[in-house]
Structure 1
Amino acid sequence: MPASETPRLDRGDLLDGLRELIRSAHTERLTGVTIRIVGGAALRLAYFDRDTTLDIDAQIAPIDQLQPIIDRIATSRGWPADWLNNNAAMFLPSWGRRIDWETIFDDGDVSIEVAPIDALLAMKLLACRPGRDTPDITKLLALTDIRSLDTAEELFESFYPGEPLPDKAIRLLSRIFEIGLPPKPTAPPRLDLGGT
């Protein structure tokens, strides 16, 4: 499917897909299921309204047992095969400050968590894709009440020790602080992954 035809997922799609995954995991009697969500999907689900996303980047366990479920959901909904993918490991800080995951669903068999805003900001600053990450970074700065380059660097280095803040992030942050932060974004409605 050409990129222009790739379905984009809004918050309702994300919730519906996760609910279906939970139901299927229960039907197949899976236990110890953990999905840790990062990136745009985490922001959209838990923190603020934003553009749609192409996928959910996550750490998924047990991926071997969940992949057939993920594939079935993609096929039945006409979504990309990687609508829920196990690619988050490449984005996660690995030797800095520990990520304090926020649980959005846990029934004892299936646990779904999102990264907190401070970790998401550090990851967005690492990626710092021009234009694409700017709105998210600006909103995350407002939510964390970070108002200076020094404080942003401190946060970044706490998650990525020994790694300097990328030059493109420094330029972007300087511009954002020069303009000023927007008001804190309004949180989306409370998540409801129950009713499965």
Structure 2
Amino acid sequence: MLSKDDILDLFEALNDKLRIQGAMGDIGLCGGAVMCVVFNARESTRDVDAIFAPTKIMRQAAREIALERDLPEDWLNDAAKGFFVSSSPQVPFREWSNLRVWALAPEFMLAMKCVAARYDTTDADDVRFLVRYLQLKTPEQVFELVSKYYPNERIPATSQFFVEELMQTSQDADADQRIETTDS
């Protein structure tokens, strides 16, 4: 697992390799890396899901770092690139001399997590966090946001059930917390 500090250290190492080659790199973070590094919503993430350029140079530098630090070869990967859309909104995160890192905007992160709708991962916790962060109160508000980025045919039916269930369990937890607070 990679902590925020680990990831920032790896980005510095990438920057060093790019500087030595005289190359400039660009990384767009998504998934768990955003939740860990940008929002501090998690302690760690398994890998760094991102899109990056120049692809060949970045892959080679990441492989070298993996070998040097005994990390999985895919610690930096673009497996989630299929969830990006041409209008994926970005927010700047950090810049080094030869590396620029940006993250997906929280609205798009929520849309992406809802479309993926994976119960067996940390997606549920990420969606709960992003719903609170964006101050959304109803499934309708969530789906209005999702539909800004994804056409209806790209939103599986499981996404609707996923969001409705998460919103209901979050509302139930909030109600339980209010009851505990008033009993105290």
Give 4+ residue runs of structure 1 displaced > 3 Å after superposition.
179-183
Could you say which structure has the greater relative contact order, defined with CA pairs below 8 angstroms and 6 or more residues apart? 1
CA contact (8 A) 1:157 1:164 kept: no
Structure 1 segment 9-20 matched on structure 2, within 5 A: 9-20=2-13
AA partner of residue 24 (structure 1): K
Deviation at 1:54, TM superposition (A): 1.8
Deviations 1:122-175 (A, max 9, x none): 110011111421111100100111111111111111100233643322223222
The residue number in structure 2 matching 1:136 is 126
Look up the equivalent residue of 2:11 and give its one-letter code. L
Aligned position for 1:41: 33
User: In 2, Cα distance between the equivalents of 1:60 and 1:156?
Assistant: 24
Partners of 2:17 and 2:108 in 1: how far apart? 30
**Structure 1 Cα separation of the partners of residues 41 and 141 of structure 2:** 25
More deviation in 173-182 or 108-117?
173-182
* 1:16-95 paired onto structure 2 within 5 Å: 16-31=9-24, 33-94=25-86
Q: Identity of counterpart residues, as a percentage?
A: 24
**Cα distance in 2, alignment partners of residues 108 and 71 from structure 1:** 21
Secondary structure at 1:112 match in 2:
strand
Runs of 5+ unmatched residues, structure 1: 1-7, 184-196
Q: 1:167 aligned to 142, 151, 157, which one?
A: 157
CA distance in 2, matches of 1:68, 1:156: 35
Name the amino acid aligned to 2:37: L
Cα distance in 2, alignment partners of residues 79 and 171 from structure 1: 36
- Please provide the CA RMSD for this pair: 2.0
Report the TM-score, using the length of structure 1 for normalisation. Answer: 0.80
In structure 1, what residue type is equivalent to 2:84? L
The alignment partner of 1:176 has SS state of helix
Tell me, which stretches of 5 or more residues in structure 2 are unaligned?
175-184
Q: What are the residue-to-residue correspondences of 1:109-148 with 2, within 5 Å? A: 109-132=98-121, 133-148=123-138
Q: 1:66 to 1:155 in 2, by over 3 A?
A: same
Say how many residue pairs are matched.
172
Within 1, Cα distance between the matches of 2:60 and 2:156?
38
In the TM superposition, residue 12 of structure 1 has moved relative to its aligned partner by 1.6
Contact 1:35 1:59 (8 Å CA) reproduced: yes
Shift of 1:51: 4.8
Tell me which residue corresponds to 2:147. 157
Q: Deviations over 1:94-123 (max 9, x none)?
A: 4xxx22211112356421111111111011
| Residue matched to 2:93 | 104
Q: Give the superposition deviation at 1:87.
A: 2.7
